[in-house]
Chains A and B, each alone.
Chain A
């Protein structure tokens, strides 16, 4: 099995010490591809008492088909100069006081789809539609680009608030001298749902259907959820660990204490279709 992403070298070294797995035993990937495999019915339940114990129930699929392994929050990059507040709610993003001041990528992009789905799960479709219309009315431009462009547009003065994931900001700040000014012009505010927490989305793991080395696959998942691997993951990728007892990277910690929304991932998943429908209906991306 090979592991990719920023942490590959560190984890691969650890895996090499252990038992080698066939490389198609385990899928570990971006959320879009996880979804694709789920829709095709290509995964199987992993059923691990260890995972059940470590990973909070809201970040797992109760059937055991998927488990979150790390997470990031969907937050606002607020202009240091022009955004005067230090706290914000997702609901407030639709407030007319932000008219023409918000930048965001496509509403159908998986990150926004999940955020909007969480909104639907919290407030129902009707309220969500109203909110999306308000948010759309507040946009400074047609949704496009990626999360990094959101910070860039704020830094350039096109808008006051950009919506992006926590690790993009950390990467720009620490890993990319060209983009550091974009991050420096903004501060990360962790928004919350009214009466809830900050929306997080997950990197997940699936066990492949018919995996020939199922037991070892599960062992590896359990190891990845362990403190050591979680620490590597949190530091190399600027993600929030999925479990307690692991130190958060200082840049990420500088955003303030994360109060993650406790909405179960399955409920968000169930609202994704509605969120996608609403995005089209209100012409969010047009």
Chain B
């Protein structure tokens, strides 16, 4: 019982620490931004912001639209209709999540640019110049919108699919008796009812789009995130970069508000506890093939094409046998990702457990802050972490020299602590969200029963909560792990400088102009992500009857 008495303060302290950790980079940026950078802003306002704001807005809107059509559309089709190939699509539709945006960009530029596969194919029939004129030009804003949208739509698909499945058949049937047609039911009943879920999916798509640097730079889209990079490194203005970061964070906050707005007026009566699932309409013949094609298109462009490209390049270059370096890079990736996953899981668990044990406003606030880290674009996060981490490093060295000890060096920066911290902050939302949802499904009666049976909170946690939460914990661990493997901007800037991970080695190959040499590394990331994505969607069809 003695250990139990310490448990509560320890858990609360961990929750507080977690909130402080996530808030730290934001505070650091706010602090950096207070330094004056007058000439930066005049310049930005005159020459950079009008265009960067426009392009960023168009990119966000365009990618959102593509993701909405591909994601919600395919979710609707597989939820309401039965057709040949549907079961396979259920498994395939979420898989583009496994393809990082920058990889999709490289692949599509290679395929669709002059002298690429499409051009060479067209040249079989046309003179080269005429064939050139027919190329779609992926290095453009529309190209970026399509490419990024096609790998990010699963966020909308997954959330919309869950929502469509939970909609009870009663609503559609009532509408039908009132004379509504199929389209009218979709547009006026099903879509509005799925609005909250779709809003969450779209918000995730927007955040991922803002996070991207690699793809948009390569495709020639000048986003705000890219302007931060330029202001920081080319114009040498840390303060200006921090101020721009604040602007980006304001946009993020606006997006989150929009998402909240999208979820407004949502009551649980909408979807009854045990929804009566809608019977799927069978589609045969042409209609069935059309439905299949409509859902297969996003899978093809977002997953199959990039995957085949990577496999082809890896085999062609016999990368599968070559170079031990890739296994070393993979080892680094795994170590960093595993460490970050463990820390994120512990902190996420502590944050939610603190609320469970003592629900109050402060603990809820801590959990909300912990979940907000996902909204920080990787570059902004790196910028916000560098200053505090270096200050800590400098402090340790100053202390060591004061005490006459040997200098430890830039230990935090040099050991990868900074990169792991960035992962934890950015992906903490996953375990926090998963565990919060998991706890909600464990009735408080269990806690009370355990307590009345004389068990301490700690025992209840160990004997009741943890076993019941196991699937949630496993799920969260998998998702965080894969997200860490894919992360590029923060890794690039915060990794120990002589260490490559899979993601940074792809980037290095690409920046040396031989992206294909990184195909195996890309393939490893994709392969590692397929399992988890499949795991996430393993309950692809709701069981019939009461759940």
Residues of A within 8 A of B (CB): 1-6, 8-9, 22-30, 32-33, 35-37, 39-42, 106, 108-110, 113, 142-149, 152-153, 155-158, 167-168, 171-172, 175-176, 178, 181-182, 208-213, 272-273, 275-277, 280-281, 283, 285-286
Contacts and interface: CB of A to CB of B under 8 A. Distances in A.
B234 A108 contact: yes
Interface of B: 43, 46-48, 51, 109, 113-115, 119, 128-129, 132, 139-140, 217-220, 222, 226, 230, 232-236, 238, 316, 325, 386-387, 390, 393-394, 397, 406-411, 413-415, 492-493, 496-500, 508, 510-514, 516
B250 to A, nearest CB: 22
Given A149-B109, A157-B128, 8 more contacts: A6-B512, A23-B414, A108-B234, A145-B220, A146-B218, A152-B115, A157-B129, A212-B407
A181 B43 CA distance: 42
Contacts of A35: 233
A143 B114 contact: no
Contacts of A176: 514, 516
Contacts of A172: 513
B235 A24 contact: no
A148 B517 CA distance: 14
A33 to B, nearest CB: 6
A4 B498 contact: yes
Contacts of A3: 498
A155 B115 contact: yes
A23 B500 CA distance: 13
Given A24-B409, A273-B235, A273-B236, A40 B493 contact: no
A39 B43 contact: no
Nearest to B512: A171
Given A40-B390, A276-B234, A156 B513 contact: no
A35 to B, nearest CB: 5
B498 A2 contact: yes
Contacts of B325: 4, 8-9
Nearest to B510: A146
Q: Counting chain B CB atoms within 10 Å of each CB, which of A172, A208, A283 scores highest?
A: A208
Contacts of A148: 513-514
Given A28-B497, A281-B47, A158 B115 contact: no
Contacts of A208: 409-410, 413-414
Contacts of B414: 22-24, 208
Given A39-B236, A144-B139, A146-B511, A158 B132 contact: yes
Contacts of A109: 217
B230 A147 contact: no
A108 B47 CA distance: 13
Q: Counting chain A CB atoms within 10 Å of each CB, which of B46, B47, B48, B386 scores highest?
A: B47
Contacts of B219: 144
Contacts of A211: 407, 409-410
A285 B169 CA distance: 53
B235 A42 contact: no
A35 B229 CA distance: 11
A38 to B, nearest CB: 9
Contact of A1 (B393, B498, B513): B498
A209 B409 CA distance: 7
B374 to A, nearest CB: 24
